Structure 1
Amino acid sequence: MIPEFFDRASVSSVWRVPYQQRAVEAEQWAKQHGISPASDDRVRVCLLAIDVQNTFCIPDFELFVGGRSGTGAVEDNIRLCEFIYRNLGSITEIAPTMDTHTAMQIFHPIFWLNEAGEHPIPAATLISFEDVQKGVWRVNPAVAFSLKADYDTLNNHALHYTKQLTDEGKYPLTVWPYHSMLGGIGHALVSAFEEAAFFHCIARKSQTNFEIKGNQPLTENYSVLRPEVLTTVGGELLAQKNSQLIDKLLKFDAVIIAGQAKSHCVAWTIDDLLTEIQAYDSSLTRKVYLLEDCTSPVVVPGVVDFTEQADQAYARFAAAGMRLVKSTDAIADWF
């Protein structure tokens, strides 16, 4: 069942969640429907909701993930919210990841300049190792002060970083619009999803487990489990794997994954989780469930379309033993 206050039409907009009112209703809902605290769960289920934030999910925000339909993330989140409400008694914990950025990061326009002193056009500029090597794009000297770094060191890092991406077969460095800015509206969770997660938290007596990612200025962090590049040019640790979250996920009986975008942060997270599982016990892939109707790929009409890459990744995950499921499926029927 879905609470009467949930309004599909509100999922595409930003609004204030009435916390106290929802808290009272959640406790009443739990009593009315015989929903016990999460601590009583014999089958422990985690919903890993990746970057369900305004910046990716609300039309006209910085990086709205429309998919080929043009309304992808909105439709995904309607289904995701309904999935949470229908399966409230089966989801032990909700873990939303929060893409978290400031302006001066390696994937934002201010970080780079061309010979004319111009910043790259966001979403339309890919910076390769060859581009940096040839000086097509160079680090903006002005960012060194705020990053508390030597300018030559930053230039060497740019070469090292883009080469690492190439050597590891990853996407070239993409210059994105300023997005998920810490302290901004775009950084916040989608209101309807925040409301659903809060309702779950109170009804199940299970704290929502927020996971911050992407706040290291000198690397991208599509995956919540590890950054794109781990080391500096000198081999020093730039950022670390999220070993604590990896260990926690592997202890659940089931991990359900949804969010944005299917072609980037979602696919990268699943891929890293698959790598960890295969290194530990490949049979554990069977406990990972991918909500394939609650995620969409990055599509910028006339510029880029990552739909095929996303579908290929999901086919590979399924072939490895992960399960593709729909939001209309009842969790209780999976076991």
Structure 2
Amino acid sequence: MTMQNVKQLPIPDFFSSEKVKNVYRVPYQQRAAEAELWAEKHDIQPAATDRKRVGLLLIDVQNTFCIPDFELFVGGASGMGAVEDNARLCEFIYRNLGSITEIIPTMDSHTAMQIFHPIFWLDEAGEHPKPATMISLSEVEQNVWKVNPDVADSLTNGNLNQLEQHALHYVQQLSNDGKYPLTIWPYHSMLGGIGHALVSAVEEAVFFHSIARKSQTNFELKGSNPLTENYSVLSPEVLDSVEGKFIAQKNVNLIQKLLDFDALIIAGQAKSHCVAWTIDNLLTEIKNIDLSLANKIYLLEDCMSPVVIPGIIDFTSQAEEAFARFAEAGMNLTKSVDDLG
């Protein structure tokens, strides 16, 4: 992966891979002072001087997905996938501090009443669906699952009929577009909660990069629209209402920003969902412009894991199929230990 003639750097002494699974307070003032000294010691220049601009897109590297015992920990095949991924990711950031121009972390951001949370739906007995339930079009048509009338006040100003029509339209659109069925997730990435925050060790590395390279971290929030899922940071799953009006829009500014980099590196969680969907959306945009743009996309496969819920569901094969398609289109499947050149 040749991007920029910058040597690989040592990893700062304060980093410990053992801490990656923990939630802790980053000592910002101390790290800022250390980052400036680090830049001076290793002749790390401000990002503004980069002749080749390299972006690092970190997808949903948040406690809710990456810390054991949190709501949607991505264990992957090993059972500790996201923790292992993030240890490698932190080391990648520190080693390549002088090559990465800008870091863009996406933040899955939810509130309680959303179409993919249990409170939105009820069965005939008045019970909410359990997490990992998949709601099909036929189940909504047959009233196996119905909209909870008590959420209409918050979501559609009390218009239950409008909300029911939207719910049916929504699962119909997912079916028509060949997407995953509507999955009910446990409450996760709750805005204002600790699960929403970046993994502490990753936050520390990102902050260190920001100070050392004088490069503002560009946070992108997604997923707060109650009427649609938002696996991809670039576009919600469904864009329109039953009346054909927009309920959400593509993130045109971010799409353009990502494609403007000379090289774009992608890592994060989960490989089978938010990562795959984001890359798929980006590939769609690339195909509409110039397929050769795919050649400057690098996917850090050892810094991402698929959703695996033992005994319930395993999305490993879906993730592998998607990434094979990305590689066929010209994207680069790589690992964090590969030399950036």
TM-score norm. by structure 2 comes to 0.97
- Helix, strand or coil for the counterpart of 2:134? strand
| Correspondence for 2:152 | 144
Q: Give the alignment partner of residue 200 of structure 1, picking from 206, 209, 214.
A: 209
Q: Give the alignment partner of residue 79 of structure 1, picking from 71, 76, 88.
A: 88
- Mapped pair 1:177 → 2:186: yes
Q: Which amino acid aligns with 2:178?
A: G
Q: Which amino acid aligns with 2:148?
A: N
Aligned partners of 2:200, 2:245: CA distance in 1, in Å? 39
Measured after TM superposition, the shift of residue 112 of structure 1 is 0.2
| Correspondence for 2:336 | 327
What CA deviation, in whole Å up to 9, does each residue of 1:216-242 have, x standing for no partner? 000000000000000000001010000
Aligned partners of 2:17, 2:332: CA distance in 1, in Å? 27
| Correspondence for 2:5 | none
| Correspondence for 1:154 | 163
Aligned partners of 2:198, 2:339: CA distance in 1, in Å? 25
Conserved? CA contact 2:65–2:74, under 8 Å = yes
Measured after TM superposition, the shift of residue 148 of structure 1 is 3.4
Q: Which amino acid aligns with 1:219?
A: T
- Helix, strand or coil for the counterpart of 2:107? strand
- Mapped pair 1:295 → 2:304: yes
Equivalence map 1:276-315=2 (5 Å): 276-315=285-324
- Mapped pair 1:58 → 2:33: no
- Mapped pair 1:164 → 2:157: no
Aligned partners of 1:175, 1:321: CA distance in 2, in Å? 34
Conserved? CA contact 2:156–2:162, under 8 Å = no
- Mapped pair 1:45 → 2:54: yes
Measured after TM superposition, the shift of residue 68 of structure 1 is 1.4
Aligned partners of 1:126, 1:308: CA distance in 2, in Å? 18
Aligned residues: CA RMSD: 0.5
Which runs of 5 or more residues in structure 1 are unaligned? none
Aligned partners of 1:104, 1:283: CA distance in 2, in Å? 41
Measured after TM superposition, the shift of residue 330 of structure 1 is 2.2
Aligned partners of 2:308, 2:334: CA distance in 1, in Å? 23
Equivalence map 1:3-22=2 (5 Å): 3-22=12-31
Q: Which amino acid aligns with 2:86?
A: N
Q: Which amino acid aligns with 1:120?
A: P
Q: Give the alignment partner of residue 231 of structure 2, picking from 202, 207, 222.
A: 222
Aligned partners of 2:228, 2:63: CA distance in 1, in Å? 22
Aligned partners of 1:313, 1:35: CA distance in 2, in Å? 37
Conserved? CA contact 2:53–2:101, under 8 Å = yes
Q: Which amino acid aligns with 1:281?
A: D
| Correspondence for 1:104 | 113
Q: Which amino acid aligns with 2:114?
A: Q
What CA deviation, in whole Å up to 9, does each residue of 1:27-65 have, x standing for no partner? 000000000000000010000000000000000000000
Aligned partners of 1:234, 1:127: CA distance in 2, in Å? 22
Q: Give the alignment partner of residue 250 of structure 2, picking from 241, 265, 280.
A: 241
| Correspondence for 2:98 | 89
Aligned partners of 2:77, 2:13: CA distance in 1, in Å? 31
- Helix, strand or coil for the counterpart of 1:142? helix
- Helix, strand or coil for the counterpart of 1:212? strand
| Correspondence for 1:187 | 196
Measured after TM superposition, the shift of residue 329 of structure 1 is 1.1
Q: Which amino acid aligns with 1:295?
A: M
Measured after TM superposition, the shift of residue 266 of structure 1 is 0.1
Aligned partners of 1:2, 1:98: CA distance in 2, in Å? 26
Identity %: 72
What CA deviation, in whole Å up to 9, does each residue of 1:284-323 have, x standing for no partner? 0000000000000000000000001101111110000000
Aligned partners of 1:229, 1:145: CA distance in 2, in Å? 22
Q: Which amino acid aligns with 1:134?
A: Q
- Helix, strand or coil for the counterpart of 2:284? helix
Q: Which amino acid aligns with 2:99?
A: S
Measured after TM superposition, the shift of residue 146 of structure 1 is 1.3
TM-score norm. by structure 1 comes to 0.98
State the 4+ residue runs in structure 1 displaced beyond 2 angstroms.
none
| Correspondence for 1:67 | 76
Conserved? CA contact 2:137–2:175, under 8 Å = yes
Q: Which amino acid aligns with 2:151?
A: V
Aligned partners of 1:315, 1:86: CA distance in 2, in Å? 28
Which runs of 5 or more residues in structure 2 are unaligned? 1-9
Aligned partners of 2:303, 2:23: CA distance in 1, in Å? 19
